[in-house]
Amino acid sequence: MTSHEPHHHLPLTARSHTALRRLELRVVRRLDGLLHGEHLGLRLGPGSEPAEARPYQPGEDDVRRMDWSVTARTTHPHVRDLVADRELESWTLLDLSASMDFGTATSEKRDVAIGALAAVTVLTQHVGDRFGAHLLHHGHIRRWPAHSGKNALYTLLSAITATPRSAPHHGATLTDALDDLARTRPRRGLRVIISDFLTPTTATPADTGHPWEHPLRHLATRHQTLAIEIVDPRELDLPPIGLTTMTDPETGHTREVHLSASLRRRYAHAARAQRDSVRAALRRSGVPHLLLRTDRDWIVDIARFVIEQRRTAHRLARHTPASPR
């Protein structure tokens, strides 16, 4: 396993710049149309730096912001706002292992993953000026330093799209990449994990544990963390095409298989069990889980997820009691 962190950006060609700008405009316009400009679902919480205390305004201020010490001293209700951090950083771990170079629908899993990275970056730029990425590719972890602005986003996306397909390897795994992200980026912020969460040890449906679960849980204890799972429909069921040659992208092993009706039924059952196991592991890790498919409109699915996150946040806010200082 090796890792490195580039110190400068790769140049953008005119063609790649146009394509990436088209992707960004597609993401921005559709999300704004679906969310009406309110991206609260993926926002980081307010910072912890206190502002000056000020008189409480009935009907306008949240009583949970009440500054009880100032209120007691002045005998008049006062609230103290929290100033949002000015240099928040969000980091995305993007899985570009061999299993992500697969797709039988309108796009490959890698394409959806890159689009999800762009969408999350757009959604979090309201509060996080800087964003960076860790790329898991061909058994190596590539660290892309945090920057801000559209040009930095274009450059990051350009570097990712130019990354060649990953060959079978025995290097770094998703577990290693999660450990590396936690170790090298200790500052609190947003962490987004984009992967299919497929590893060789998760091939057995009866297996309820995953090697990446513990480091993901550890990451979520310190950071706001989001897991985005990318799935292709052919990973869930097989077509009735008879004898075919199948290759494991992670190991390179090839085998001829006759896709009989009974085999397809057993495969579908095992695939459902495996995905249920991944979903349960993510739930145990305490991270929100967004599922994106190559045969669906992933921008709509992201928008629905954000809306649901917003509703959940509002419900929690209404039921969270105020605590005195």
169 with 202, same domain: the answer is yes
Number of CB atoms found within 10 A of residue 45's CB: 12
CA-based nearest residue to 224, from 192, 260, 195, 262: 192
169 with 280, same domain: the answer is yes
158 with 255, same domain: the answer is yes
- Which pLDDT band holds residue 42 (cuts at 50, 70, 90)? low
Two structure tokens written together for 170 = 């025995």
252 with 124, same domain: the answer is yes
Two structure tokens written together for 45 = 């919480």
Longest dimension (CA), the chain: 82
- Which pLDDT band holds residue 41 (cuts at 50, 70, 90)? low
Residue 234 lies in a domain: yes
Query: Which residues share a beta bridge with 143?
Result: 134
Q: Residue 26: which CATH number?
A: 3.40.50.410
Q: Can you tell me the mean pLDDT for 257-267?
A: 89
User: What pLDDT, on the 0 to 100 scale, is given for residue 185?
Assistant: 93
- Residue 86, pLDDT above cutoff 90: no
Number of CB atoms found within 10 A of residue 241's CB: 9
80 with 184, same domain: the answer is no
pLDDT digits 0-9 by tens, 167-181: 666 789 999 999 999
139 with 161, same domain: the answer is yes
User: What pLDDT, on the 0 to 100 scale, is given for residue 202?
Assistant: 44
Q: Can you tell me the mean pLDDT for 200-218?
A: 72
Residue 262 lies in a domain: yes
Number of domains the chain contains: 2
Of 3-12, 74-83, 113-122, 315-324, minimum mean pLDDT range: 3-12
111 with 229, same domain: the answer is yes
Residue 308 lies in a domain: yes
Please state, in angstroms and rounded to a whole number, the distance separating the CA atoms of residues 182 and 184.
6
Two structure tokens written together for 207 = 């297996």
59 with 160, same domain: the answer is no
Residue 42 lies in a domain: no
Residue 54 CA neighbour count, 13 Å, CB half: 10
pLDDT digits 0-9 by tens, 219-251: 999 898 999 999 999 899 888 888 888 877 777
126 with 233, same domain: the answer is yes
- Domain boundary at 42, 62, 84, which? 84
Residue 38 lies in a domain: no
Please state, in angstroms and rounded to a whole number, the distance separating the CA atoms of residues 178 and 181.
5
309 with 211, same domain: the answer is yes
- Which pLDDT band holds residue 189 (cuts at 50, 70, 90)? confident
Of 88-92, 93-97, 131-135, 297-301, minimum mean pLDDT range: 88-92
- Domain boundary at 66, 84, 102, which? 84
User: What pLDDT, on the 0 to 100 scale, is given for residue 319?
Assistant: 56
The chain-wide mean pLDDT, for the chain, equals: 79
72 with 215, same domain: the answer is no
Please state, in angstroms and rounded to a whole number, the distance separating the CA atoms of residues 261 and 155.
47
Predicted TM-score (pTM) of this structure: 0.76
- Residue 7, pLDDT above cutoff 50: no
Domain that holds residue 70: 50-84
Considering 12-26, 182-196, 200-214, the range whose residues carry the highest mean pLDDT is: 182-196
Residue 323 lies in a domain: no
296 with 284, same domain: the answer is yes
Of 13-27, 56-70, 174-188, minimum mean pLDDT range: 13-27
* Cβ-contact 20, 154 below 8 angstroms: yes
* Cβ-contact 232, 293 below 8 angstroms: yes
322 vs 164 pLDDT, higher one:
164
Q: Can you tell me the mean pLDDT for 135-155?
A: 89
Residue 171 lies in a domain: yes
- SS3 per-residue string spanning the chain: CCEECCCCCCCCCHHHHHHHHHHHHHHHHHHHHHHCCCCHHHCCCCCCEEEEEEECCCCCCCHHHECHHHHHHHCCCEEEEEECCCCCEEEEEEECCHHHCCCCCCCCHHHHHHHHHHHHHHHHCCCCCEEEEEEEECCEEEEEEEECCHHHHHHHHHHHHCCCCCCCCCCCCHHHHHHHHHHHCCCCCEEEEEECCCCHHHCCCCCCCCCCHHHHHHHHHHCEEEEEEEECHHHCCCCCCEEEEEECCCCCCEEEEEECHHHHHHHHHHHHHHHHHHHHHHHHHCCCEEEEECCCCHHHHHHHHHHHHHHHHHHHHHHCCCCCC
Residue 324 lies in a domain: no
